[in-house]
Structure 1
Amino acid sequence: MTSASDLRSGKTDRDENFPVASWIIHPRHRALILSFYNFVRTADDIADHASLGADEKLRYLDVLEAELLGKGDTQKEAVSLRQALAERSMAPRHALDVLVAFRMDVTKLRYENWDEVIHYCRYSAMPVGRFMLDVHGESTATWAASDALCAGLQINNHLQDCGKDYKNLNRVYLPRDALAASAATVEMLGEAKSQPALLQCLHALAARTETLLNESKSLNAEVKDFRLGLDIAVIQAFADKIVGMLKVRDPLSERVHLSPLELLGYTFGGVAGEIIRRAMGRRPLTRPAAGA
């Protein structure tokens, strides 16, 4: 069996929609976070691999899981994470959860409704936030707001990449009932520009995602770790800007990603805003949902 490392797409933590082990996070946590990221990125790249068959993908994911649990030493990402977790006496529960999502990516190509998408996010995105909170010793009471933020980030990504996911992987995360409500079809995702029906569907899903992100606004105030609070504020700023673009733009034909300058600006804006908020003891502002 080829090493899972050889199946990596080349995407790194620098290519994500959110900062991974950024300079904001305390240095003592970065090695563990990067080990977790590299494990997750490797599994994600396996699930999305263009030339591997479904059975091969599932076999690689099984090997990563087995070695994460100590049954072998051939896959460096699994071994590295296993060792990093052991050093902190942490269980691999969150890494095991994300493997559930990547197996779903291999076997499930369509989603019937919003609840099915959120169920996917429960395994693809929410464990990442929960892992970060555990690394920083935060209470599980913070999980609800974190889950909302992580699900919002995941669905933002689904909307950004909806055309690419369909064309390259025949995978559609847009709920069937949402498409039907707008009289849109899956096949419209293969076009260079969204037809009005599809654009209506995409904008409605973005608005629903904005409501979800609004449920996460308390998170940076709920966490005790100052640096983590700053990091969350930055991620929230990124997510809010992206969902704002998705509410008015066409991801099939327009840019819906942040430029390097925008990333820099929202990073410093998020940091400054959170420092001021903590200094003044204010709760985060919660914006009303669209149409409220």
Structure 2
Amino acid sequence: MTSASQLRSGKTHRDENFPVASWIIHPRHRALILAFYNFVRTADDIADHATLAARDKLSYLDMLEAELLGHGDSQPETVNLRRALAERSMPPRHAQDVLTAFRMDVTKLRYEHWDEVMHYCRYSAMPVGRFMLDVHGESTSTWAASDALCAGLQINNHLQDCGKDYRNLNRVYLPRDALAAAGASVEALGAGRASAPLLQCLHSLATRTEGLLHEGKSLSADVRDIRLGLEISVIQAFAHRIVHLLRIRDPLSETVHLGPVELLLYSVGAVASEMTRRAVGRRPVSKPAAGA
């Protein structure tokens, strides 16, 4: 069997829509976070592989989980994460949850309604936030806000990549009932420009996603670790800007990603804002999402 590493797409933590183990995070945490990221990225690339058969994808994912639990040492990303977790006496449950999501990616190509998408986010996105909180020794009371933020980030990504996911993988995360309510078809995702009904559906889903991001607004203030709070504030700034673009643009034909200059400006602004907020002890104000 080919090494899972050889199935990687080439995407790294520097290609994500949000910072991964950036300079803001304390150096003592970065190796573990990057080990987790590389494990997740490898599994994600297997699930999205263009030519690998579904049964082979599932076999690879099963092998990654087995090695994560100590049964084998053939996959470097798995061994690195297992050892990094053992050094902190942390269980592998968050990594296992993410593997559940990637198995869903292999076997489930359509979602009927919002709750099904949220169920997917429970395994694809929420464990990542929970992992970060555990790494920093934060209370599980922060999980609710983290879950909302992570789900919002995940659905932002679904909306950004809806055309590519349909064309390349025949995978559609947009709920069937939302498409039907707008009078849009799945096939419209294959066009170079969104039809009016599809655009209505996309904008409606973006508005609903904005609501999730507002539910997670308190997270940067809820965490005790200052560096983690700053990192979260940057992620929140990126997410809110992206969802704003998704509410007004067509992801099939227009840019809905942030460029390097925007990333820098929003990072600096978010860090300054969070440092000021912590200095004066003010909590963030959660405003209702537009259209809510």
Q: Deviations over 1:154-188 (max 9, x none)?
A: 00000000000000000000000000000000000
Q: Deviations over 1:91-147 (max 9, x none)?
A: 000000000000000000000000000000000000000000000000000000000
Structure 1 residues 204-223: aligned runs within 5 Å: 204-223=204-223
Structure 1 position 242, deviation (Å): 0.1
Distance in 2 (CA, whole Å) between partners of 1:53 and 1:109 is 15
Conserved 8 A contact 2:211-2:289? yes
Structure 2 Cα separation of the partners of residues 109 and 43 of structure 1:
17
Distance 2:146 2:115 in 1: 18
Match of 2:260 in 1: 260
One-letter amino acid of the structure 2 residue matched with residue 65 of structure 1: E
Deviation at 1:8, TM superposition (A): 0.1
Confirm whether residue 139 of structure 1 aligns to residue 139 of structure 2: yes
Partner of 2:179: 179
Q: Give the match for residue 105 of structure 1.
A: 105
- Structure 2: which 5+ runs fail to align? none
Deviation at 1:258, TM superposition (A): 0.2
The amino acid across from 2:190 in the alignment is: G
Q: Unaligned regions of 5+ residues in structure 1, if any? A: none
Alignment of 1:31 onto 2:28? no
Counterparts of 1:149 and 1:257, CA distance in 2: 18
**In the alignment, structure 1 residue 224 sits paired with structure 2 residue 214:** no
* Alignment size in residue pairs: 292
> Does the alignment pair 1:150 with 2:130?
no
Q: How does 1:18-97 map onto structure 2 within 5 Å? A: 18-97=18-97
Let me know the Cα RMSD of the aligned residues.
Answer: 0.5
TM-score normalized with structure 1 length: 1.00
Q: Are the equivalent residues in 1 in contact too, given 2:207–2:291 (CA < 8 A)? A: no
TM-score, reference length from structure 2:
1.00
Can you list the C-alpha shifts for 1:246-268, whole angstroms capped at 9, x where unaligned? 00000000000000000001111
Shift of 1:291: 2.7
The CA deviation at 1:287 is: 1.8
Counterpart amino acid of residue 222 in structure 1: D
Deviations 1:178-230 (A, max 9, x none): 00000000000000000000000000000000011100011011100000000
Deviation at 1:286, TM superposition (A): 1.2
What stretches of structure 1 move > 6 A for 4+ residues in a row?
none
Residue 155 of structure 2: SS of its match in structure 1? helix
The 3-state SS of whatever aligns with 2:72 is: coil
CA contact under 8 A between 2:54 and 2:107: conserved in structure 1? yes
Shift of 1:285: 2.1
